[in-house]
Amino acid sequence: MNNPFSIASKRILITGASSGIGRSMAIACSKMGAEVYFTGRNAAALTQTLEMMNGEGHKMLVSDITSLQDVEKLVSELPILDGIVSNAGINRRMITQYIKEMDMDMILNTNLKAPIMLAKALLKAKKINFGASIVFVSSIAAFHSSIGDGVYSASKGGLSSFSKVLALELASKKIRVNTIQPGMVHTGLTEVGPLSDEDYKKDEQRYPLGRYGNPEEIAYSAIYLLSDASVWITGTDLVIDGGISLI
Ligand SMILES: NC(=O)c1ccc[n+]([C@@H]2O[C@H](COP(=O)([O-])OP(=O)(O)OC[C@H]3O[C@@H](n4cnc5c(N)ncnc54)[C@H](OP(=O)(O)O)[C@@H]3O)[C@@H](O)[C@H]2O)c1
């Protein structure tokens, strides 16, 4: 039976798969029959991801995406890919007057420079198949403001802008480029920073659908963008946020 939503046998790279959204994506893609190449810096946590995956042929690759040497090595170890989910990212909340240059460099390097340099390296090495799909994990923070998120928002806004240019550049090869923009999702990322559990609970109640997201709910959207069901979608931002950006 022809199933346009299938990603079976597609070769997919997922960065930042040692926890949270990336781990859920690796697990969900493996359950859908894809061959998954997944990265992070923490080898023990990547091994745990592998243990939760289905099927054979997956490969974990320990790699710091902010290191050009690591990225070069990573790209050399990859096959030609049908899908890429550039998901690794970090956040440190701080209001503007307390921004430290070191934190700013770390956030911009990880969330913006690294995904761009990885895309460049994959393209130069001809590791992206004709008709492939690239998904950048951005955030509603790109266009939806919250106090203390200035640098993070700038990194994700930059990523969304970059993805649209890349979509234009790669359209002739039928390679599609889109972003996913999640609202708050329960992961380690939401556990760091100055907000208390009570602050988070109060914030969660503001969501029109009544709660924050779960990582697998973001993974399912990535699978849609990786599949041929979205073959005419490129240069777009897919908001997945329980309706919070409506208010
Ligand atoms: N959770 C949310 O509410 C939310 C909302 C909107 C968007 N997002 C975005 O979703 C993505 C995933 O976040 P998450 O919530 O799943 O956070 P998470 O659980 O902290 O996962 C982040 C992942 O990124 C990897 N990573 C970070 N820096 C890296 C580096 N220098 N090199 C390689 N890997 C690196 C981490 O792996 P290692 O530590 O092993 O290196 C980890 O696997 C991020 O881009 C984030 O901005 C999250």
* pLDDT, tens only, 167-220: 999 999 999 999 999 999 999 877 666 678 888 889 999 999 999 999 999 999
Residue located nearest, by CA, to atom 20 of ligand 1 = 189
Residue 20 has pLDDT above 90, yes or no: yes
Strand residues in 41-199 grouped as ranges (E): 59-62, 81-86, 128-137, 176-182
What is the best residue among 13, 73, 149, 187 to mutate for testing ligand 1's pocket, by most ligand atoms within 8 Å of CB?
A: 187
Which residue, 219, 175, 178, 227, is CA-closest to 4? 227
Residue 27 has pLDDT above 80, yes or no: yes
- How confident is the model over 153-177, as a mean pLDDT? 98
Give the rounded distance of the alpha carbon of 18 from its chain centre.
Answer: 12
Residue 240 has pLDDT above 70, yes or no: yes
Listed by start position, the domains of the chain span: 11-241
* Residues recognised as catalytic: 152
Residue 160 has pLDDT above 70, yes or no: yes
34 touches 11 (CB < 8 A): yes
Distance 40 CA to ligand 1 centre (A): 9
56 vs 37: CA distance, rounded Å: 11
Q: Which residues line ligand 1 (CB under 6 A)?
A: 16-22, 40-42, 45, 64-66, 87-91, 110, 137, 139, 182, 184-185, 187-190
How high does pLDDT run on average in the chain?
A: 96
pLDDT at residue 22, as a whole number: 98
Which residue, 199, 172, 171, 170, is CA-closest to 184? 199
- How confident is the model over 104-129, as a mean pLDDT? 98
CATH class of 11-241: alpha beta
The DSSP element (H or E) to which 240 belongs, if any, is strand 237-240
What is the best residue among 38, 68, 90 to mutate for testing ligand 1's pocket, by most ligand atoms within 8 Å of CB?
A: 90
pLDDT at residue 131, as a whole number: 98
**150's tokens:** 């200035």
Question: Residues near 120 by Cβ (< 8 Å), separated by ≥ 6?
Answer: none
- How confident is the model over 82-95, as a mean pLDDT? 96
State the Rg of the chain over Cα.
17
Q: Give percent of the chain above pLDDT 90.
A: 92
pLDDT at residue 238, as a whole number: 98
104 vs 100: CA distance, rounded Å: 6
162 touches 216 (CB < 8 A): no
pLDDT at residue 139, as a whole number: 98
